[in-house]
A and B are shown apart, each in its own frame.
Chain A
Amino acid sequence: MTLLHDPGQRTEVGLLRPMDAETSQDFIPAGLAALGIEADEIELAVIGAAHQLFWPPILELLSFDTSAIPVERNLDLSQAPPS
Protein backbone atom coordinates (compact mmCIF):
# COMPACT_ATOMS: atom_id res chain seq x y z
CA MET A 1 0.00 0.00 0.00
CA THR A 2 1.23 3.49 -0.83
CA LEU A 3 0.44 6.22 1.64
CA LEU A 4 -0.52 9.51 0.03
CA HIS A 5 0.38 11.43 3.13
CA ASP A 6 2.84 11.31 5.97
CA PRO A 7 1.06 9.72 8.92
CA GLY A 8 3.26 11.74 11.30
CA GLN A 9 1.52 14.95 10.19
CA ARG A 10 -2.05 13.75 10.60
CA THR A 11 -2.53 15.26 14.00
CA GLU A 12 -1.58 18.67 12.63
CA VAL A 13 -4.09 18.78 9.83
CA GLY A 14 -7.34 20.58 10.47
CA LEU A 15 -6.70 21.15 14.14
CA LEU A 16 -6.60 24.53 15.81
CA ARG A 17 -3.32 25.59 17.22
CA PRO A 18 -2.97 28.57 19.53
CA MET A 19 -0.88 31.38 18.06
CA ASP A 20 2.21 31.93 20.17
CA ALA A 21 3.64 35.31 21.01
CA GLU A 22 6.47 34.97 18.53
CA THR A 23 4.08 34.34 15.65
CA SER A 24 2.02 37.34 16.72
CA GLN A 25 5.05 39.60 16.51
CA ASP A 26 5.63 38.47 12.96
CA PHE A 27 2.34 40.08 12.00
CA ILE A 28 3.83 43.37 10.89
CA PRO A 29 6.75 42.24 8.72
CA ALA A 30 4.77 39.28 7.41
CA GLY A 31 1.72 41.42 6.66
CA LEU A 32 3.75 44.08 4.86
CA ALA A 33 5.71 41.44 2.95
CA ALA A 34 2.50 39.70 1.89
CA LEU A 35 1.28 42.99 0.43
CA GLY A 36 4.60 43.70 -1.24
CA ILE A 37 5.26 46.73 0.92
CA GLU A 38 8.81 47.58 1.88
CA ALA A 39 9.71 49.16 5.21
CA ASP A 40 13.03 50.20 6.69
CA GLU A 41 14.01 49.69 10.31
CA ILE A 42 12.79 53.08 11.48
CA GLU A 43 9.45 52.64 9.76
CA LEU A 44 9.12 49.20 11.31
CA ALA A 45 9.80 50.71 14.71
CA VAL A 46 7.10 53.34 14.11
CA ILE A 47 4.64 50.71 12.94
CA GLY A 48 5.52 48.56 15.94
CA ALA A 49 4.79 51.43 18.31
CA ALA A 50 1.48 52.17 16.58
CA HIS A 51 0.62 48.48 16.67
CA GLN A 52 1.32 48.32 20.38
CA LEU A 53 -1.01 51.27 20.91
CA PHE A 54 -3.86 50.31 18.61
CA TRP A 55 -3.91 46.54 18.62
CA PRO A 56 -5.24 45.87 22.15
CA PRO A 57 -8.32 48.09 21.64
CA ILE A 58 -8.78 46.66 18.15
CA LEU A 59 -8.82 43.15 19.63
CA GLU A 60 -11.32 44.35 22.20
CA LEU A 61 -13.46 45.81 19.44
CA LEU A 62 -13.27 42.56 17.49
CA SER A 63 -14.52 40.67 20.53
CA PHE A 64 -17.85 42.55 20.41
CA ASP A 65 -20.68 40.95 18.49
CA THR A 66 -22.10 43.99 16.73
CA SER A 67 -24.42 42.11 14.43
CA ALA A 68 -27.48 43.51 16.19
CA ILE A 69 -26.43 47.09 15.48
CA PRO A 70 -27.68 48.20 12.09
CA VAL A 71 -25.53 50.34 9.85
CA GLU A 72 -27.25 53.61 8.97
CA ARG A 73 -28.44 53.60 5.39
CA ASN A 74 -27.87 56.91 3.64
CA LEU A 75 -25.77 58.13 6.52
CA ASP A 76 -26.38 61.85 7.07
CA LEU A 77 -23.95 63.14 9.66
CA SER A 78 -25.44 66.63 9.56
CA GLN A 79 -28.49 65.38 11.44
CA ALA A 80 -29.52 63.10 14.25
CA PRO A 81 -30.04 59.51 13.15
CA PRO A 82 -33.57 58.54 12.20
CA SER A 83 -35.22 57.05 15.25
Chain B
Amino acid sequence: MSEALDLSLRGQAAAIAAGEADAAELLEATLARIEERNPALNAIVETFPERSREMLAAAPQGPLHGVPIVIKDEWPLPWRAQRFGAADMIAKAEPGESGPYRALRDAGAVVVGVGNMHELGASSTGNVSVYGPARNPWNTERCPGGSSSGPASAVAARLVAGAVGADGIGSIRYPAAYCGLTGLKPTFGRSAMAGHHMAEVSTTIVSGALCADAADCRLLDSVLFGEKLAAGKPPALRIGVIRDEVSEDVAPAVREACEAAIEDLRAATGGEVRETELPELAAATLATVLIANSESLGGITPQRLNELDLELSPIGRGLLKYRVLLPAVATIKAGQLRTLARHTLAALFEEVDVIAWPTVPAVAPPLEAPLVELPSGTLTADEANVRGGALANLTGIPAISVPVGSSEGLPIGLQLQAAWGRDELLLDAAEALEEANDRRWVEAAPPARGAEPLEA
Protein backbone atom coordinates (compact mmCIF):
# COMPACT_ATOMS: atom_id res chain seq x y z
CA MET B 1 0.00 0.00 0.00
CA SER B 2 1.39 3.39 -0.99
CA GLU B 3 2.21 5.60 1.99
CA ALA B 4 0.98 8.56 -0.05
CA LEU B 5 -2.58 7.25 0.06
CA ASP B 6 -3.48 9.08 3.26
CA LEU B 7 -1.65 12.30 2.49
CA SER B 8 -3.55 15.47 1.72
CA LEU B 9 -4.14 16.32 -1.94
CA ARG B 10 -1.27 18.81 -1.87
CA GLY B 11 0.82 16.26 0.04
CA GLN B 12 0.26 13.66 -2.66
CA ALA B 13 1.13 16.15 -5.38
CA ALA B 14 4.27 17.29 -3.54
CA ALA B 15 5.41 13.75 -2.73
CA ILE B 16 5.09 12.66 -6.36
CA ALA B 17 6.80 15.82 -7.63
CA ALA B 18 9.68 15.29 -5.20
CA GLY B 19 10.07 11.65 -6.20
CA GLU B 20 9.10 10.53 -2.69
CA ALA B 21 6.00 8.71 -3.91
CA ASP B 22 5.42 6.66 -7.00
CA ALA B 23 2.34 7.77 -8.96
CA ALA B 24 1.71 4.31 -10.38
CA GLU B 25 1.81 2.79 -6.91
CA LEU B 26 -0.53 5.49 -5.63
CA LEU B 27 -3.00 4.78 -8.42
CA GLU B 28 -3.01 1.04 -7.73
CA ALA B 29 -3.34 1.67 -3.99
CA THR B 30 -6.25 4.02 -4.63
CA LEU B 31 -8.02 1.45 -6.79
CA ALA B 32 -7.47 -1.17 -4.07
CA ARG B 33 -8.86 1.16 -1.42
CA ILE B 34 -11.91 1.89 -3.53
CA GLU B 35 -12.48 -1.84 -3.84
CA GLU B 36 -12.11 -2.24 -0.08
CA ARG B 37 -14.14 0.70 1.23
CA ASN B 38 -16.57 1.64 -1.51
CA PRO B 39 -19.05 -1.25 -1.13
CA ALA B 40 -20.20 0.17 2.22
CA LEU B 41 -20.51 3.68 0.79
CA ASN B 42 -21.53 3.46 -2.88
CA ALA B 43 -19.63 6.71 -3.32
CA ILE B 44 -18.00 5.71 -6.60
CA VAL B 45 -20.21 4.22 -9.28
CA GLU B 46 -17.58 3.33 -11.84
CA THR B 47 -13.85 2.88 -12.08
CA PHE B 48 -11.90 2.28 -15.31
CA PRO B 49 -8.42 1.16 -14.29
CA GLU B 50 -7.05 0.92 -17.82
CA ARG B 51 -8.23 4.41 -18.70
CA SER B 52 -6.74 5.74 -15.47
CA ARG B 53 -3.42 4.03 -16.19
CA GLU B 54 -3.44 5.52 -19.68
CA MET B 55 -4.09 8.97 -18.22
CA LEU B 56 -1.18 8.51 -15.86
CA ALA B 57 1.13 7.33 -18.64
CA ALA B 58 0.33 10.47 -20.63
CA ALA B 59 0.16 12.86 -17.66
CA PRO B 60 2.11 16.11 -18.02
CA GLN B 61 4.16 17.54 -15.16
CA GLY B 62 1.36 19.75 -13.91
CA PRO B 63 0.37 20.77 -10.38
CA LEU B 64 -1.60 17.55 -9.86
CA HIS B 65 0.77 15.19 -11.66
CA GLY B 66 -0.20 11.61 -10.81
CA VAL B 67 -2.84 12.54 -8.23
CA PRO B 68 -6.05 10.44 -8.34
CA ILE B 69 -9.28 12.44 -8.50
CA VAL B 70 -12.97 11.50 -8.55
CA ILE B 71 -15.36 13.40 -10.78
CA LYS B 72 -19.11 13.67 -10.31
CA ASP B 73 -21.50 11.83 -12.62
CA GLU B 74 -22.52 15.24 -13.97
CA TRP B 75 -19.55 15.52 -16.34
CA PRO B 76 -18.83 13.52 -19.47
CA LEU B 77 -15.49 11.80 -19.90
CA PRO B 78 -13.98 10.84 -23.27
CA TRP B 79 -14.90 7.24 -22.60
CA ARG B 80 -18.12 7.68 -20.67
CA ALA B 81 -21.30 9.78 -20.89
CA GLN B 82 -22.60 11.28 -17.67
CA ARG B 83 -25.87 9.82 -16.33
CA PHE B 84 -26.70 12.64 -13.91
CA GLY B 85 -27.54 9.98 -11.33
CA ALA B 86 -30.62 9.11 -13.34
CA ALA B 87 -32.10 6.45 -15.61
CA ASP B 88 -33.34 9.25 -17.86
CA MET B 89 -31.90 12.76 -17.81
CA ILE B 90 -34.00 14.30 -20.65
CA ALA B 91 -30.94 16.07 -22.10
CA LYS B 92 -28.74 14.24 -24.55
CA ALA B 93 -25.58 12.84 -23.00
CA GLU B 94 -22.59 11.42 -24.76
CA PRO B 95 -18.91 10.83 -24.00
CA GLY B 96 -16.66 13.82 -24.44
CA GLU B 97 -14.01 16.08 -22.99
CA SER B 98 -15.69 18.27 -20.41
CA GLY B 99 -14.00 21.39 -19.10
CA PRO B 100 -13.21 19.84 -15.71
CA TYR B 101 -11.83 16.72 -17.41
CA ARG B 102 -9.54 18.81 -19.61
CA ALA B 103 -8.40 20.89 -16.66
CA LEU B 104 -7.59 17.77 -14.65
CA ARG B 105 -5.83 16.08 -17.55
CA ASP B 106 -3.76 19.15 -18.36
CA ALA B 107 -2.76 19.42 -14.70
CA GLY B 108 -1.50 15.85 -14.78
CA ALA B 109 -4.26 14.42 -12.57
CA VAL B 110 -5.66 10.94 -13.00
CA VAL B 111 -9.43 10.50 -13.08
CA VAL B 112 -9.85 7.34 -11.05
CA GLY B 113 -13.61 7.07 -10.77
CA VAL B 114 -17.03 8.63 -11.19
CA GLY B 115 -18.80 9.88 -8.10
CA ASN B 116 -22.44 9.05 -7.35
CA MET B 117 -24.97 11.90 -7.22
CA HIS B 118 -28.57 12.58 -6.36
CA GLU B 119 -30.90 11.80 -9.25
CA LEU B 120 -31.02 14.75 -11.70
CA GLY B 121 -29.17 16.86 -9.13
CA ALA B 122 -32.54 17.49 -7.58
CA SER B 123 -31.91 17.27 -3.84
CA SER B 124 -29.60 18.25 -1.02
CA THR B 125 -29.69 14.74 0.48
CA GLY B 126 -28.19 12.23 -1.97
CA ASN B 127 -30.69 9.56 -0.97
CA VAL B 128 -32.04 8.84 -4.47
CA SER B 129 -29.87 7.75 -7.38
CA VAL B 130 -30.08 5.31 -10.24
CA TYR B 131 -27.08 3.61 -8.65
CA GLY B 132 -28.65 3.52 -5.19
CA PRO B 133 -27.80 6.16 -2.62
CA ALA B 134 -24.27 7.05 -1.62
CA ARG B 135 -23.74 6.80 2.14
CA ASN B 136 -22.20 9.12 4.67
CA PRO B 137 -18.83 7.82 5.99
CA TRP B 138 -19.65 9.25 9.43
CA ASN B 139 -22.76 7.10 9.67
CA THR B 140 -23.76 4.98 6.73
CA GLU B 141 -27.45 5.24 7.63
CA ARG B 142 -27.29 9.01 7.15
CA CYS B 143 -27.46 11.12 4.01
CA PRO B 144 -24.11 12.16 2.52
CA GLY B 145 -25.69 15.32 1.14
CA GLY B 146 -26.45 16.17 -2.43
CA SER B 147 -26.34 16.46 -5.12
CA SER B 148 -22.54 15.86 -5.08
CA SER B 149 -23.06 12.90 -2.74
CA GLY B 150 -20.46 10.51 -4.12
CA PRO B 151 -17.58 12.99 -4.41
CA ALA B 152 -18.11 14.04 -0.79
CA SER B 153 -18.44 10.51 0.52
CA ALA B 154 -15.34 9.43 -1.43
CA VAL B 155 -13.15 12.19 -0.02
CA ALA B 156 -14.46 11.88 3.54
CA ALA B 157 -13.69 8.14 3.49
CA ARG B 158 -10.32 8.90 1.89
CA LEU B 159 -10.88 6.86 -1.21
CA VAL B 160 -9.27 9.90 -2.83
CA ALA B 161 -7.97 13.21 -1.53
CA GLY B 162 -9.97 15.39 -3.89
CA ALA B 163 -13.09 15.34 -6.00
CA VAL B 164 -14.85 17.58 -8.50
CA GLY B 165 -18.49 18.37 -7.85
CA ALA B 166 -21.03 20.80 -9.22
CA ASP B 167 -23.20 23.32 -7.39
CA GLY B 168 -26.48 24.57 -8.85
CA ILE B 169 -28.31 25.19 -5.58
CA GLY B 170 -25.83 24.30 -2.86
CA SER B 171 -24.82 20.94 -4.30
CA ILE B 172 -21.16 21.20 -3.27
CA ARG B 173 -21.75 22.91 0.07
CA TYR B 174 -24.49 20.64 1.47
CA PRO B 175 -22.46 17.42 1.08
CA ALA B 176 -19.33 19.20 2.31
CA ALA B 177 -21.21 20.10 5.50
CA TYR B 178 -22.77 16.66 5.96
CA CYS B 179 -19.46 14.84 5.37
CA GLY B 180 -17.10 17.17 7.28
CA LEU B 181 -15.30 18.54 4.22
CA THR B 182 -14.41 21.90 2.77
CA GLY B 183 -16.30 22.74 -0.40
CA LEU B 184 -16.09 25.89 -2.48
CA LYS B 185 -18.86 27.08 -4.77
CA PRO B 186 -16.86 29.42 -7.01
CA THR B 187 -17.99 32.78 -8.34
CA PHE B 188 -20.21 32.06 -11.33
CA GLY B 189 -18.16 31.64 -14.47
CA ARG B 190 -14.73 31.29 -12.86
CA SER B 191 -14.46 27.49 -12.95
CA ALA B 192 -14.56 25.11 -15.89
CA MET B 193 -18.06 24.37 -17.16
CA ALA B 194 -17.62 23.34 -20.81
CA GLY B 195 -19.23 20.05 -21.69
CA HIS B 196 -21.87 20.21 -18.98
CA HIS B 197 -25.23 19.40 -20.55
CA MET B 198 -26.58 22.70 -19.19
CA ALA B 199 -23.48 24.83 -19.73
CA GLU B 200 -25.19 26.98 -22.34
CA VAL B 201 -28.40 27.62 -20.40
CA SER B 202 -27.67 27.49 -16.68
CA THR B 203 -27.05 30.67 -14.73
CA THR B 204 -26.66 28.87 -11.40
CA ILE B 205 -24.38 25.84 -11.90
CA VAL B 206 -20.61 25.88 -11.35
CA SER B 207 -17.95 23.20 -10.96
CA GLY B 208 -15.87 23.15 -7.80
CA ALA B 209 -13.67 21.15 -5.47
CA LEU B 210 -14.53 19.01 -2.46
CA CYS B 211 -11.49 18.33 -0.29
CA ALA B 212 -10.49 17.84 3.34
CA ASP B 213 -9.36 21.42 3.87
CA ALA B 214 -9.05 24.83 2.28
CA ALA B 215 -5.47 24.41 1.07
CA ASP B 216 -6.45 21.30 -0.88
CA CYS B 217 -9.50 23.11 -2.28
CA ARG B 218 -7.22 25.96 -3.31
CA LEU B 219 -5.02 23.56 -5.28
CA LEU B 220 -7.86 21.70 -6.99
CA ASP B 221 -9.89 24.84 -7.64
CA SER B 222 -6.81 26.54 -9.12
CA VAL B 223 -6.81 23.74 -11.67
CA LEU B 224 -10.55 24.13 -12.34
CA PHE B 225 -10.22 27.92 -12.57
CA GLY B 226 -7.19 27.74 -14.84
CA GLU B 227 -5.40 30.25 -12.64
CA LYS B 228 -3.43 30.02 -9.43
CA LEU B 229 -5.53 31.09 -6.47
CA ALA B 230 -3.09 32.99 -4.29
CA ALA B 231 -2.94 32.27 -0.57
CA GLY B 232 -2.68 35.01 1.98
CA LYS B 233 -3.47 36.06 5.48
CA PRO B 234 -7.00 37.45 5.57
CA PRO B 235 -7.45 41.06 6.67
CA ALA B 236 -9.29 41.98 9.86
CA LEU B 237 -12.55 40.48 8.67
CA ARG B 238 -15.83 42.32 8.93
CA ILE B 239 -18.13 39.34 9.38
CA GLY B 240 -21.80 39.92 8.60
CA VAL B 241 -24.39 37.89 10.47
CA ILE B 242 -28.08 37.97 9.69
CA ARG B 243 -30.65 37.37 12.40
CA ASP B 244 -33.03 35.45 10.18
CA GLU B 245 -34.21 31.88 9.84
CA VAL B 246 -30.89 30.89 8.21
CA SER B 247 -29.09 31.56 11.47
CA GLU B 248 -31.92 31.16 13.99
CA ASP B 249 -34.19 28.35 12.81
CA VAL B 250 -31.29 26.00 13.30
CA ALA B 251 -30.70 22.95 15.51
CA PRO B 252 -29.21 24.15 18.82
CA ALA B 253 -25.92 22.26 18.43
CA VAL B 254 -25.43 23.64 14.93
CA ARG B 255 -26.18 27.15 16.06
CA GLU B 256 -23.79 26.88 18.99
CA ALA B 257 -20.94 25.48 16.87
CA CYS B 258 -21.40 28.08 14.13
CA GLU B 259 -21.61 31.00 16.54
CA ALA B 260 -18.44 29.78 18.25
CA ALA B 261 -16.71 29.45 14.88
CA ILE B 262 -17.73 32.96 13.86
CA GLU B 263 -16.24 34.26 17.10
CA ASP B 264 -13.08 32.19 16.47
CA LEU B 265 -12.78 33.70 13.00
CA ARG B 266 -13.31 37.19 14.31
CA ALA B 267 -10.67 36.72 17.00
CA ALA B 268 -8.21 35.03 14.63
CA THR B 269 -8.33 37.89 12.14
CA GLY B 270 -8.73 40.72 14.65
CA GLY B 271 -11.95 41.64 12.92
CA GLU B 272 -15.49 42.37 13.99
CA VAL B 273 -18.95 40.86 13.78
CA ARG B 274 -21.64 43.10 12.36
CA GLU B 275 -25.34 42.34 12.48
CA THR B 276 -26.85 43.13 9.14
CA GLU B 277 -29.99 42.53 7.10
CA LEU B 278 -30.88 40.88 3.85
CA PRO B 279 -34.62 41.41 3.43
CA GLU B 280 -34.84 39.58 0.11
CA LEU B 281 -33.40 36.35 1.49
CA ALA B 282 -36.62 34.31 1.77
CA ALA B 283 -37.90 35.42 -1.64
CA ALA B 284 -34.45 34.84 -3.10
CA THR B 285 -34.67 31.18 -2.14
CA LEU B 286 -37.86 30.68 -4.13
CA ALA B 287 -36.46 32.75 -6.99
CA THR B 288 -33.44 30.46 -7.21
CA VAL B 289 -35.59 27.35 -7.29
CA LEU B 290 -37.80 28.83 -10.00
CA ILE B 291 -34.91 29.98 -12.16
CA ALA B 292 -32.86 26.79 -11.79
CA ASN B 293 -35.88 24.63 -12.55
CA SER B 294 -36.91 26.67 -15.58
CA GLU B 295 -33.55 26.85 -17.30
CA SER B 296 -33.57 23.19 -18.20
CA LEU B 297 -37.07 23.19 -19.70
CA GLY B 298 -35.97 23.76 -23.29
CA GLY B 299 -35.66 20.06 -24.02
CA ILE B 300 -38.94 19.15 -22.39
CA THR B 301 -42.00 18.39 -24.46
CA PRO B 302 -45.24 16.74 -23.37
CA GLN B 303 -44.35 13.76 -25.53
CA ARG B 304 -40.92 13.46 -23.93
CA LEU B 305 -42.47 13.61 -20.47
CA ASN B 306 -44.89 10.85 -21.43
CA GLU B 307 -41.97 8.69 -22.49
CA LEU B 308 -39.86 9.02 -19.33
CA ASP B 309 -37.99 5.88 -18.38
CA LEU B 310 -39.93 4.21 -15.58
CA GLU B 311 -36.62 3.45 -13.92
CA LEU B 312 -36.50 7.15 -13.09
CA SER B 313 -37.85 7.50 -9.57
CA PRO B 314 -41.49 8.58 -9.14
CA ILE B 315 -40.13 11.67 -7.39
CA GLY B 316 -37.96 12.48 -10.38
CA ARG B 317 -40.81 11.89 -12.83
CA GLY B 318 -43.29 13.90 -10.77
CA LEU B 319 -40.97 16.87 -10.29
CA LEU B 320 -40.11 17.01 -13.99
CA LYS B 321 -43.82 17.15 -14.82
CA TYR B 322 -44.53 19.72 -12.15
CA ARG B 323 -41.97 22.08 -13.67
CA VAL B 324 -44.14 22.69 -16.71
CA LEU B 325 -46.95 23.92 -14.48
CA LEU B 326 -44.88 26.69 -12.90
CA PRO B 327 -46.32 30.03 -13.99
CA ALA B 328 -44.15 32.08 -16.32
CA VAL B 329 -45.01 35.26 -14.43
CA ALA B 330 -43.37 33.79 -11.32
CA THR B 331 -40.16 33.14 -13.22
CA ILE B 332 -40.19 36.71 -14.57
CA LYS B 333 -40.58 38.07 -11.07
CA ALA B 334 -37.84 35.70 -9.89
CA GLY B 335 -35.48 37.33 -12.38
CA GLN B 336 -36.33 40.74 -11.01
CA LEU B 337 -35.81 39.53 -7.46
CA ARG B 338 -32.40 38.30 -8.57
CA THR B 339 -31.53 41.84 -9.67
CA LEU B 340 -32.76 43.21 -6.39
CA ALA B 341 -30.78 40.65 -4.35
CA ARG B 342 -27.63 41.38 -6.36
CA HIS B 343 -27.92 45.11 -5.71
CA THR B 344 -28.60 44.51 -2.01
CA LEU B 345 -25.57 42.25 -1.77
CA ALA B 346 -23.33 44.69 -3.64
CA ALA B 347 -24.23 47.34 -1.06
CA LEU B 348 -23.84 44.86 1.80
CA PHE B 349 -20.35 43.90 0.70
CA GLU B 350 -19.32 47.53 1.08
CA GLU B 351 -20.01 47.05 4.78
CA VAL B 352 -18.78 43.51 5.40
CA ASP B 353 -16.17 41.19 3.89
CA VAL B 354 -18.00 37.93 4.44
CA ILE B 355 -21.47 36.82 5.45
CA ALA B 356 -21.62 33.82 7.77
CA TRP B 357 -24.39 31.39 8.64
CA PRO B 358 -24.70 27.60 9.05
CA THR B 359 -24.33 25.78 5.73
CA VAL B 360 -27.21 23.50 6.70
CA PRO B 361 -29.43 23.93 9.78
CA ALA B 362 -29.07 20.37 11.08
CA VAL B 363 -26.65 17.48 10.77
CA ALA B 364 -27.12 14.78 8.14
CA PRO B 365 -30.61 13.22 8.40
CA PRO B 366 -31.42 9.53 7.96
CA LEU B 367 -31.31 8.20 4.40
CA GLU B 368 -34.68 6.55 4.87
CA ALA B 369 -36.45 9.73 5.97
CA PRO B 370 -34.49 12.91 5.32
CA LEU B 371 -36.31 15.13 7.79
CA VAL B 372 -34.73 17.60 10.19
CA GLU B 373 -35.93 18.87 13.55
CA LEU B 374 -35.67 22.63 13.83
CA PRO B 375 -37.06 25.11 16.35
CA SER B 376 -39.90 25.81 13.89
CA GLY B 377 -40.78 22.11 13.63
CA THR B 378 -40.04 19.15 11.40
CA LEU B 379 -39.04 20.04 7.85
CA THR B 380 -37.77 18.09 4.89
CA ALA B 381 -34.01 18.51 4.67
CA ASP B 382 -34.38 20.05 1.22
CA GLU B 383 -36.83 22.68 2.41
CA ALA B 384 -34.53 23.59 5.28
CA ASN B 385 -31.21 23.44 3.42
CA VAL B 386 -32.18 25.54 0.43
CA ARG B 387 -32.80 28.56 2.67
CA GLY B 388 -29.08 28.99 3.24
CA GLY B 389 -27.71 27.55 0.03
CA ALA B 390 -29.61 29.32 -2.73
CA LEU B 391 -28.46 32.91 -2.44
CA ALA B 392 -24.96 32.33 -3.81
CA ASN B 393 -26.31 30.55 -6.88
CA LEU B 394 -28.96 33.20 -7.50
CA THR B 395 -26.53 36.10 -7.33
CA GLY B 396 -23.28 34.52 -8.58
CA ILE B 397 -21.22 35.17 -5.44
CA PRO B 398 -18.73 32.57 -4.11
CA ALA B 399 -19.46 30.56 -0.98
CA ILE B 400 -17.56 27.99 1.04
CA SER B 401 -18.54 25.42 3.63
CA VAL B 402 -16.01 24.79 6.38
CA PRO B 403 -16.27 22.04 9.05
CA VAL B 404 -16.58 23.62 12.49
CA GLY B 405 -18.01 21.07 14.89
CA SER B 406 -20.04 17.94 15.39
CA SER B 407 -23.29 16.71 16.88
CA GLU B 408 -24.57 13.14 17.17
CA GLY B 409 -21.18 12.08 15.78
CA LEU B 410 -21.89 13.98 12.56
CA PRO B 411 -20.11 17.05 11.18
CA ILE B 412 -21.38 20.64 11.25
CA GLY B 413 -20.49 23.16 8.54
CA LEU B 414 -20.28 26.95 8.56
CA GLN B 415 -20.90 28.79 5.31
CA LEU B 416 -18.98 31.94 4.38
CA GLN B 417 -20.01 34.04 1.39
CA ALA B 418 -18.11 36.93 -0.16
CA ALA B 419 -18.39 39.39 -3.01
CA TRP B 420 -17.96 38.37 -6.65
CA GLY B 421 -14.42 37.26 -7.44
CA ARG B 422 -13.32 37.03 -3.81
CA ASP B 423 -13.00 33.24 -3.83
CA GLU B 424 -9.42 33.59 -2.57
CA LEU B 425 -10.62 35.55 0.44
CA LEU B 426 -12.98 32.71 1.35
CA LEU B 427 -10.15 30.20 1.14
CA ASP B 428 -7.93 32.47 3.27
CA ALA B 429 -10.72 32.85 5.83
CA ALA B 430 -11.32 29.10 5.88
CA GLU B 431 -7.63 28.51 6.57
CA ALA B 432 -7.65 31.09 9.34
CA LEU B 433 -10.61 29.30 10.89
CA GLU B 434 -8.86 25.93 10.60
CA GLU B 435 -5.84 27.32 12.43
CA ALA B 436 -8.03 28.95 15.05
CA ASN B 437 -9.46 25.58 16.04
CA ASP B 438 -6.13 23.73 15.69
CA ARG B 439 -7.38 21.98 12.53
CA ARG B 440 -9.47 19.78 14.77
CA TRP B 441 -12.43 19.50 12.42
CA VAL B 442 -10.62 19.24 9.09
CA GLU B 443 -8.44 16.45 10.46
CA ALA B 444 -11.26 14.51 12.13
CA ALA B 445 -11.71 11.09 10.54
CA PRO B 446 -15.00 9.22 10.18
CA PRO B 447 -15.69 5.64 11.32
CA ALA B 448 -15.47 4.50 7.67
CA ARG B 449 -11.72 5.19 8.02
CA GLY B 450 -11.53 3.18 11.22
CA ALA B 451 -11.70 6.22 13.51
CA GLU B 452 -13.56 6.57 16.79
CA PRO B 453 -16.87 8.45 16.72
CA LEU B 454 -16.57 12.23 17.02
CA GLU B 455 -17.17 14.07 20.24
CA ALA B 456 -18.62 17.57 20.06
Q: Residues on A close to B: CB < 8 A?
A: 27-28, 31-32, 35-40, 42-47, 50-51, 53-54, 57-58, 60-62, 64, 66, 69-72, 75-81, 83
Closest Cβ–Cβ distance, residue B281 to chain A (whole Å): 13
Q: A58-B326, A61-B333, A80-B346 are in contact. Are A37 and B286 (CB under 8 A)?
A: no
User: Complex Cα distance A75/B419, Å?
Assistant: 16
B395 in contact with A43 (CB, 8 Å) = no
> Quick check: is B91 within 8 A (CB to CB) of the other chain?
no
Q: Which of B190, B317, B330, B334 contacts A43 (CB 8 A)?
A: B317
Q: Which of B302, B334, B337, B396 contacts A37 (CB 8 A)?
A: B302
B335 in contact with A71 (CB, 8 Å) = yes
- A residues less than 8 Å from B314 (CB atoms): 40, 42-43, 46
Chain B, interface SS category: helix
In the complex formed, the residue of A with least CB distance to B394 is: A77
B395 in contact with A46 (CB, 8 Å) = no
- B residues less than 8 Å from A28 (CB atoms): 322, 325
User: Complex Cα distance A27/B333, Å?
Assistant: 21
Closest Cβ–Cβ distance, residue A62 to chain B (whole Å): 6
Q: A77-B189, A78-B421, A81-B346 are in contact. Are A62 and B321 (CB under 8 A)?
A: no
What is the total number of residues of chain B having a CB less than 8 Å from a CB of chain A? 49
A69 in contact with B340 (CB, 8 Å) = yes
Known A58-B286, A61-B334, A70-B336; further 8 A-B contacts with Cβ < 8 A: A28-B325, A51-B322, A54-B286, A58-B290, A66-B332, A69-B336, A79-B421, A80-B349
B286 in contact with A81 (CB, 8 Å) = no
- B152-181: contact bitstring with A at CB < 8 Å (1 yes, 0 no)? 000000000000000000000000000000
- B residues less than 8 Å from A51 (CB atoms): 322, 325
Q: Pick from A31, A46, A62, A83 the residue with the most CB of B within 10 Å.
A: A46
> Quick check: is B343 within 8 A (CB to CB) of the other chain?
yes
User: Complex Cα distance A77/B187, Å?
Assistant: 8
Q: A43-B314, A71-B335 are in contact. Are A62 and B327 (CB under 8 A)?
A: yes
- B residues less than 8 Å from A31 (CB atoms): 325
Q: A51-B322, A58-B326, A80-B346 are in contact. Are A66 and B289 (CB under 8 A)?
A: no
A78 in contact with B339 (CB, 8 Å) = no
Q: A77-B396, A83-B346 are in contact. Are A37 and B321 (CB under 8 A)?
A: yes
List the 10 shortest-distance A-B pairs measured between CB atoms, nearest first: A46-B318, A77-B396, A78-B189, A77-B188, A69-B336, A43-B318, A42-B314, A66-B336, A80-B346, A36-B302
> Quick check: is B342 within 8 A (CB to CB) of the other chain?
yes
Q: How many A-B residue pairs have CB under 8 A?
A: 119
> Quick check: is B201 within 8 A (CB to CB) of the other chain?
no
- A residues less than 8 Å from B324 (CB atoms): 35, 37
In the complex formed, the residue of B with least CB distance to A53 is: B383
Enumerate B268-327 residues with CB–CB distance to A below 8 Å.
282-283, 286-287, 289-290, 302-303, 305-306, 314-315, 317-319, 321-322, 324-327
User: Complex Cα distance A58/B321, Å?
Assistant: 17
User: Complex Cα distance A71/B325, Å?
Assistant: 23
- B residues less than 8 Å from A40 (CB atoms): 314
- A residues less than 8 Å from B318 (CB atoms): 39, 42-47, 50
Q: A47-B322, A71-B335 are in contact. Are A35 and B302 (CB under 8 A)?
A: yes
A61 in contact with B286 (CB, 8 Å) = yes
User: Complex Cα distance A47/B315, Å?
Assistant: 8
> Quick check: is B203 within 8 A (CB to CB) of the other chain?
yes
Q: Pick from A45, A53, A69 the residue with the most CB of B within 10 Å.
A: A69
